[in-house]
Structure 1
Amino acid sequence: MLDKVVLIASVMLAIALLLNLYRLVKGPSLPDRILALDTMYINTIALIVLLGVSQRSLIFFEAAMLIAMMGFVGTIAISKYILRGDIIE
């Protein structure tokens, strides 16, 4: 039963990633593209967690935490660059 749920959730997340990719490419404005990239990080983290659940391995959760930290820092850096034109003050 858990395998079916993980499969269904993975398919839904893959569809969400494709929709985010569309928004990233066709976004009407730059903030929309940044938001799509941030949402792609979140969906990727969810896919890695689902993979960890299906494989019954804890290493995937650590990888998800690393991607979450890098995604947060990347989003902040891109937003700061757009607002000020410089990342490091």
Structure 2
Amino acid sequence: MFSLILIAVMSVIVFALLLNGLSLLRGPDLADRLLALDTMYINSIALLLVYGIYVSTQLYFEAALLIAMLGFVSTVAVCKFMLRGDIIE
């Protein structure tokens, strides 16, 4: 029963990723596309965590942590580029 719930949760997260991909392609502005990309990496973290629970291994948790760190740094870099036009001062 628990595995069926995890599969259902993974399918909902994949559907959310597809909707975020559509928003990423359709977004009229760079800020909208950045927000869709941020939501995509958060959903991919959630998908990795749920899949890690499903297969009972800790490898996916470490991958999710790595994606979280890289996603934060890339978001800060793109926001700084959007505000100032340059990343390094």
Give 1:8 shift: 0.5
Aligned partners of 2:64 and 2:72: how far apart in 1? 12
Aligned partners of 1:24 and 1:60: how far apart in 2? 25
Please give the secondary structure, in 2, of the residue aligned with 1:57. Answer: coil
CA deviation profile, 1:29-75 (whole Å, cap 9, x unmatched): 11110000000000000010011001100111111001000001011
Aligned partners of 1:48 and 1:11: how far apart in 2? 12
TM-score in terms of structure 1 length:
0.97
Q: What is the RMSD computed on CA atoms of the aligned residues? A: 0.7
Partner of 1:60: 60
Q: Gapped runs of 5+ residues in structure 1?
A: none
Q: Kindly provide the amino acid, as one letter, of the partner of residue 68 in structure 1.
A: A
Partner of 1:34: 34
State percent identity of aligned pairs: 52
Report how many residues are paired: 89
Give 1:3 shift: 0.6
Aligned partners of 2:81 and 2:31: how far apart in 1? 12
Aligned partners of 2:85 and 2:38: how far apart in 1? 20
Aligned partners of 2:10 and 2:44: how far apart in 1? 10
Aligned partners of 2:60 and 2:27: how far apart in 1? 31
